[in-house]
Structure 1
Amino acid sequence: MAVPLSLESLHGFWSSCCSSWHALPDSSSASLTWTASVLLLSLAGLLWGLSRKSRPQRKLTGVRSGVVCPPEQLKDDLQNPKGVANAYAFERELAVPFDVRDVRVSKLLVHPIKSCRGSSLQEARYTPEGLENDRKWCIIEADTHTIITAREVSKMVLITPRIEVDATSPYGGRLVVSFPDDSDCETFAIPLWPTQEMLADWPIIEDCTMFRTYLVDGYVVSSTVDDDPDSSSRTPSEILSDYFGRAVHLVMKGPRARECPPTHAFPDLKETAKFQDGYPFLVASEESLEEVRRVVSAFAQDESPEARIGGIDRDRWKDGGVEIERFRPNIVFKGSGVPFAEDMWRQIRIHPADAREATSDVSRTFTLVSKCTRCLLPNVDTTSGTRDAAVPYKVLLKFRRNKDPARMSKPCFGCNAVVGGEGIVRVGDRVEVLEWATGIGV
């Protein structure tokens, strides 16, 4: 934007006015001088604002402009023992594509009830709405219908849902929900796939609210299935209300499609999900986790002012022991050889481990639609239910923000994904990169 005024032109304007006013009577001259002074100050303020707007704004990209880092140099950087200084190794653009070696699925995690403990599986069915039974249920406030997460109630991670598949059951099996021993809450079981007769008796809530933005429908789970005649007659909502200390409901996702939000890379995204935060799948790699561990350990051991992180327990985190379960991914990869390689993948295909030839099946094709921006939930210890004051969130802020163009202030770990169809994914399946994103990733 061009600025027509300058401080020099304003000074000339002021001087000419002063010369003219000297010829006026004293009273008129004083009045005009006061008026012109106010006008001059207003124009000077306007000029200052316009000049600031006219300056080119530095665009934050999380990448050092013009610097392209090949993977081999990146690997050399990672071997550098200078821990904290090396935490910023990824503030450079990667040259893509690069060799990702033999990438395999190393872990599959399903979280049946949102924010409760997950289960590790050897294989899982999937649909475009995610892994089977993943975030199919959630817990809501009985009065406001707000979906509760471990961000607010950290001890939710100690509730353990366990999937028991039974082909002979009219419900396809049970979801068995248990609690810590000291909670005095009894275990209960609910149907994996309720019959239509059951659902007809379950109240449906149309406005389960997520992040005060998304409205999702859900059935209030009102029946249990238990072969033990001495089991509790209380409903799941009553048992959970005791655990939470207030009235809550266990809810199963209803029939109405819940649309996923668009992303920076896919503004016209048309996908649906269940009770996941945003998207059907979250993927991450073991190499990325190892880098987070290394940086956490570096910050815990470096006592220099530059490495100061408020609230970090140096003894607790000197070994960097962050578990992948804290990040709650669905599909974990191993074998890329480069941390955060998944940031650079736009589209991948997961081939069966025993397949002799690569398949072109779109139902096995996953599109990575955005990086996953993180909140404080990964700070919750999945074994104790306590929230750490610093790890991993404050450490991620040091080297993993400015990565997502839509939310530059948030740190990133893992990527959100959608899939082209239905199928089965197994631990050991091979990952092929079909399309790469730019050097700053998806």
Structure 2
Amino acid sequence: MWGSLQKTALGATDAGAAQPVNGDEDERLVPGTGPTEVPFEIGEVHVTKIYVHPIKSCRGTSVKEVRYDPEGLENDRKWCIIDAQKRTILTARGFANMVLITPQLEPDPSSAYGGQLVVSFPEGSECESFAVPIEPTPDMLRSWELVEDAVMHGVYHVDGYVCQSLSAPYNTPSTVLSTFLGRDVHLMIKGPTPRTVPPALDYPDLQDTAKLQDGYPLLVASDESLVAFRHVVKDVAQQGEAAGVRGFDQKRWSEGTVEMERFRPNIVFGGAGVPFAEDYWRRIVINSPEQTDSEQAELKITLISKCARCLLPNVDTVTGIRDAAVPYKLLMTFRTGKDPRDFSKPCFGVNGIIDGHGVVRVGDVVTVKEWAGPEGV
């Protein structure tokens, strides 16, 4: 994958994008060749945060290190909640309180099923926690209901198994989740059938696969981009009604802040010193000073498209309440026109594809091996 991706097209140059230092605005870069000069200088970049979201649209977990493979971070979006009748995969876009469901991985290498995923609920919900196996054994799967036709976003068809609890009553996951969400649902673990990722503008023939992520195996973002957005929020809060942002809660955002978890990235970078620098990285490698001989020498990532955002990040990860304006409406003021597939949607973060297997850790060093053209990825 690392050396085989070939570029087929690039959209028009974004007038607001950073330009190459050589001033050649008409230059188009072909992935695999690399630019002769970088478009702007950046500082030393490191991995500052890693997030794993075991159950799609539910609360994520910050970890210090995690294994990865071409389908993403280990156990990331491996489970989902499906409508019991329609077999559609539910997300926090439609059920905001899903973000209050807390999955916690408890690995156990000595266990036949790799440990357990403990799922808990907010105090006052009257929903008891339950545990399911991280790696169900073949015997377990033979007794679980097979789902062959689950549908994600009305586009992707995926298979899976309806999870049973590690202790009786074994239908606890379905019962408890149905009570919490107020409709008949099941907890489903992704099945063995590969799900091919959607084509990207520059890479229309992608054959990579993913688990239950919206599109691609990996989503990255940077601390600098979040800081820049927080400044926008504070500026609007200071202007109040004069800013003209309908639904903006001036009191709340004068005092509060937007956390990175709303954007649900997997890997967060820091140190570049330039907001949204990641928009212009085509290929990066991540090296760990703690690497062992059995691990891959470096994590190789191809960044293939900016992440066009929906309204899901408007959901407060603490309260489960959807904000009327933040972050979506504020991102609309300065982050539209970035995605050639849909210039109307605001972007935050970049989608990526992984080459190989290994371990990534907080503190690992990030090196940009190839930059994209003036319009970014």
**Same fold by TM-score, threshold 0.5 exceeded?**
yes
Q: 1:290 — aligned with what?
A: 227
Confirm or deny that 1:215 pairs with 2:157: yes
The alignment partner of 2:332 has SS state of: helix
Structure 2: distance between partners of 1:439 and 1:60: 9
Structure 2: distance between partners of 1:173 and 1:348: 33
Q: 1:232 to 1:184 in 2, by over 3 A?
A: farther
Q: 1:220 to 1:360 in 2, by over 3 A?
A: closer
Confirm or deny that 1:331 pairs with 2:267: yes
| Stretch moving more, 425-434 or 210-219 | 210-219
Structure 2: distance between partners of 1:430 and 1:173: 30
Deviation at 1:318? Answer: 2.1
**Residue identity in the other structure for 2:358:** G
- Report the count of equivalent residues: 350
Q: 1:253 to 1:303 in 2, by over 3 A?
A: same
Structure 2: distance between partners of 1:119 and 1:327: 13
The alignment partner of 1:298 has SS state of: helix
Confirm or deny that 1:402 pairs with 2:360: no
Deviation at 1:438? Answer: 1.1
Q: 2:247 — aligned with what?
A: 311
The alignment partner of 1:398 has SS state of: coil
CA RMSD of aligned residues (A): 2.1
The alignment partner of 2:333 has SS state of: helix
Deviation at 1:244? Answer: 1.1
Q: 1:26 — aligned with what?
A: none
Q: 2:95 — aligned with what?
A: 153
User: Match for 1:117 among 59, 64, 82?
Assistant: 59
**Residue identity in the other structure for 2:56:** K
Which whole-Å deviations, capped at 9, do the CAs of 1:233-290 have from their partners, x for residues lacking one?
Answer: 6421111111111110100000000000011121121210011000000000000000
**Residue identity in the other structure for 2:185:** V
The alignment partner of 2:344 has SS state of: coil
- Conserved? CA contact 1:61–1:403, under 8 Å: no
User: Match for 2:145 among 178, 198, 203?
Assistant: 203
Q: 1:254 to 1:284 in 2, by over 3 A?
A: same
User: Match for 2:207 among 254, 270, 292?
Assistant: 270
Structure 2: distance between partners of 1:296 and 1:61: 27
Deviation at 1:299? Answer: 1.3
Deviation at 1:97? Answer: 3.0
Q: 2:313 — aligned with what?
A: 378
- Conserved? CA contact 2:296–2:357, under 8 Å: no
Which whole-Å deviations, capped at 9, do the CAs of 1:126-180 have from their partners, x for residues lacking one?
Answer: 0100100000000010111111000001000000000001122111110000011
Higher helix share: 1
User: Match for 1:183 among 125, 130, 133?
Assistant: 125
The alignment partner of 2:93 has SS state of: coil
Q: 1:10 — aligned with what?
A: none
Confirm or deny that 1:345 pairs with 2:278: no
Which whole-Å deviations, capped at 9, do the CAs of 1:94-127 have from their partners, x for residues lacking one?
Answer: x943222110000000000000001000000001
Structure 1: gaps of 5 or more residues: 1-58, 71-94
**Aligned residues with identical type, % of pairs:** 56
- Conserved? CA contact 2:13–2:374, under 8 Å: no
- Conserved? CA contact 2:70–2:217, under 8 Å: yes
- Conserved? CA contact 1:96–1:438, under 8 Å: no
Structure 1: distance between partners of 2:12 and 2:252: 34
Q: 1:257 — aligned with what?
A: 194
Deviation at 1:309? Answer: 0.3
The alignment partner of 2:226 has SS state of: helix
Structure 2: distance between partners of 1:329 and 1:172: 25
Which whole-Å deviations, capped at 9, do the CAs of 1:190-245 have from their partners, x for residues lacking one?
Answer: 00100001111111111111111111111111x2224xxxx766421111111111
Structure 2: gaps of 5 or more residues: 1-10, 22-36
Q: 1:156 to 1:168 in 2, by over 3 A?
A: same
Q: 1:172 — aligned with what?
A: 114
The alignment partner of 1:348 has SS state of: strand
Deviation at 1:360? Answer: 9.6
The alignment partner of 1:385 has SS state of: coil
The alignment partner of 1:294 has SS state of: helix
TM-score (norm 1): 0.76
